[in-house]
Structure 1
Amino acid sequence: MLNTLTHRVVQAPMAGTSTPEMAVAVCEAGGLGFLALGALDAVGAAKAIRAVRQGTERDFGVNLFCHAPARRDAAREATWIQTLEPEFARFGASPPRELAEIYPSFRGNDAMLSVLLAERPAIVGCHFGLPGPDQIVALKAAGCALWATATSLAEGKAIVDAGFDVIVAQGFEAGGHRGIFEPDGPDERLGHLALARALLPLGLPVVAAGGIMDRGAARAAMDAGAAAVQCGTAFLRAPEAATPPAHRAALSGGRTVMTRAISGRPARCLVNDFTAIADAAAADYPVAYGIGKALHAAASAQGHHGYGAFWAGTGAAASLARPAADTVLAISP
């Protein structure tokens, strides 16, 4: 099996902003590039994997969402539509009358599994939970190293018990969706250093993630026992990223908040109009995400970008506009 942790800087798989071009640039600079497949179908995933392979002969990883199916609640969804209706009205638009699951989980996704078994990426990472036992067995038999995100010791133990190879310790500082297995369960909100230290006794290599923007932070994580660091926000201003101009511009503000309003799951976003909406009534993930995207589209059509899913970690203000390769070199401890 590939020794996946000869790399010290891992580029986080950021659905919607990380690209094959970014993964190639990171790999060629000596880091570990990742593709985010959670928002793609099987055809799109195969295309993205092949695009990376055309650009580099080095190993890279792919990442998938392993969330449980949405808990559909017609009354709750109707309430959420009503909550957002005034926001749509600001831009002369109406919300969708019904919500739908826009992102399928990897669990039970035979088409996506077939792509992975055919393409055999060096690493398959999982977010929001773990795949089914049969999927794990198949991926391991195909020679893929398996990574999974943990936000707590209990999740780390589940990852070990499932036979995974690496734990990504996602600190509370991290941007984007919190990888917590049960979004309505307790959350200790540990920073990446404390979480990494808690996970190390489990015996697997730990990759620290969350707010790591420079070499000093990377060295601190390595000193705490992490085998590598994973960075996402640090790459958002790279020319290889698909980060929209409004998202890039908002990074300099630096203020972030954890919210469910945009997608139905806790996620760290730059403070904007959407994050100001109380999220207690939000529909479940990913059905809430569909109406969130519709609101962003309606506002953007009128030149307003305050409803974007501008995911970012707590170090957002320190992000720099530079090639992804330069970021790898700047952070490498």
Structure 2
Amino acid sequence: MTSIERFLDRLGLRFPIIQAPMAGVSTPRMAAAVSHAGGLGSLAIGAGTVAQARQMIVDTRALTDKPFNINVFCHAPAVRDVHREAAWLAHLAPLFAELGAAVPVALDEIYPTFLGDEAAFELLLELRPAVVSFHFGLPSTEKIAALRQAGIYTLATATSVREAILIEQAGVDAIVAQGVEAGGHRGVFDPQAPDERHSTGVLLRLLAGRTALPLIAAGGIMDGQGIRAALDLGAAAAQLGTAFVLCPESAANAGYRAKLHSERAASTRLTATLSGRLARGIDNRFIEYAEAPGSPAPADYPVAYDAAKRLNALASQHGNSEFGAYWAGQGAPLARAMPAAQLISTLLGEMAA
């Protein structure tokens, strides 16, 4: 049995395709459609409440009896710095004024980390999704062991060999090897540490000789040919995010979809200005303004995100989509609009071609 076959057999999947757990985009409908089609659907619960997470899991189970993945954010709590946050708000003040609003007096830490969220941990132990994945780091080895003891298969994102070694040592079941081409947030454990920014292909080859854990390729993969190439490089499966954003089951809004359909999809940038951590998205006015020469450092993650989301909410009231976080990988121009099940079928046909 090959490593791919072992991975599929362990999770009860038919195909080595994983839909990335995109916060704000993935939905129970999309996760269920992917899982029902033989891949692994995913939901991200780090951007919501525990009650919302419970409902998402319940809703997905009502649509499919197949396995799916629940993703949690394992970032270090924000380092609050009143002077840094005040400087960031002062820098953004002209944008708030342009949208007819006063600049906020203060910002909030809008996303709790799973590291200290006992209620979210207990929810996972209670509902026991087939898979739980970690992004931005790892919970304690005790929590990882408890999840595995509950029969849950665990994944964690690595952007480097060092992070992959930590994942293996912590007892996680498989590694999501995230290349720099990937859309959304880089899964680096420590944003202050050096980042080699390996491509997906290079990272796969580096890890293939250093770990016995299954590798899941993530970053820039948009079609069946890309999946096949990742498997040839040592991956047991491929994780695609941007490829699913245009599916009707996704929660992407009209502005997001329009940008992916436009020539602007070819211009993505890694930026920390939207959320406080590096993430790849389609260029827009907010990013260009916030990264202009002389700009101060953004507030820490996820505090900076509070400011960006407030601006985007204001702009959206006027039909302005220039302030949103439109996460997309470098393969964004290859995105296709079709139902998730049809996309799985299309990917499989391309893999076999």
TM-score (norm 2): 0.92
2:192 is equivalent to residue 184 of structure 1: yes
2:305 is equivalent to residue 289 of structure 1: yes
Which of 280, 302, 320 in structure 1 is aligned with 2:336?
320
**Structure-2 separation of matches of 1:303 and 1:112:** 35
For the residue of structure 2 that corresponds to 1:241, the secondary structure is coil
What is the root-mean-square deviation in Å for CA atoms of aligned residues?
1.3
Match of 1:56 in 2: 64
Aligned counterparts, 1:254-293, within 5 A: 254=265, 255-276=267-288, 277-278=290-291, 281-293=297-309
Residue deviations 1:302-333 (CA, integer Å, cap 9, x gap): 22110001000111111111001111122233
Which of 218, 222, 232 in structure 2 is aligned with 1:223?
232
Residue deviations 1:195-247 (CA, integer Å, cap 9, x gap): 11111221100000111111111111111011110000000000000000000
2:240 is equivalent to residue 198 of structure 1: no
Asked if the contact 2:141–2:171 (Cα under 8 Å) also holds between the matched residues in 1, the reply is no
Match of 1:112 in 2: 120
Match of 1:305 in 2: 321
For the residue of structure 1 that corresponds to 2:115, the secondary structure is coil
Q: Percent identity?
A: 50
Residue deviations 1:265-291 (CA, integer Å, cap 9, x gap): 000010101111226510000011111
Shift of 1:140: 1.4
Asked if the contact 2:88–2:296 (Cα under 8 Å) also holds between the matched residues in 1, the reply is no
**Structure-2 separation of matches of 1:318 and 1:239:** 16
Structure 1: give runs of 5+ residues left out of the alignment: none
**Structure-2 separation of matches of 1:158 and 1:280:** 33
AA aligned to 1:47 is Q
Match of 2:173 in 1: 165
> What is the number of residues matched between the two proteins?
333
Asked if the contact 1:14–1:232 (Cα under 8 Å) also holds between the matched residues in 2, the reply is yes
**Structure-2 separation of matches of 1:135 and 1:315:** 35
For the residue of structure 2 that corresponds to 1:274, the secondary structure is helix
AA aligned to 1:266 is L
Shift of 1:141: 1.3
**Structure-2 separation of matches of 1:257 and 1:39:** 22
2:87 is equivalent to residue 87 of structure 1: no
Residue deviations 1:4-54 (CA, integer Å, cap 9, x gap): 384311000000000000001001111110111111211111111111111
**Structure-2 separation of matches of 1:4 and 1:272:** 39
**Structure-2 separation of matches of 1:78 and 1:331:** 47
Structure 2: give runs of 5+ residues left out of the alignment: 1-6
TM-score (norm 1): 0.97
**Structure-1 separation of matches of 2:305 and 2:150:** 33
For the residue of structure 1 that corresponds to 2:144, the secondary structure is helix
AA aligned to 2:166 is A
AA aligned to 2:58 is R
Match of 1:147 in 2: 155
**Structure-2 separation of matches of 1:330 and 1:185:** 39
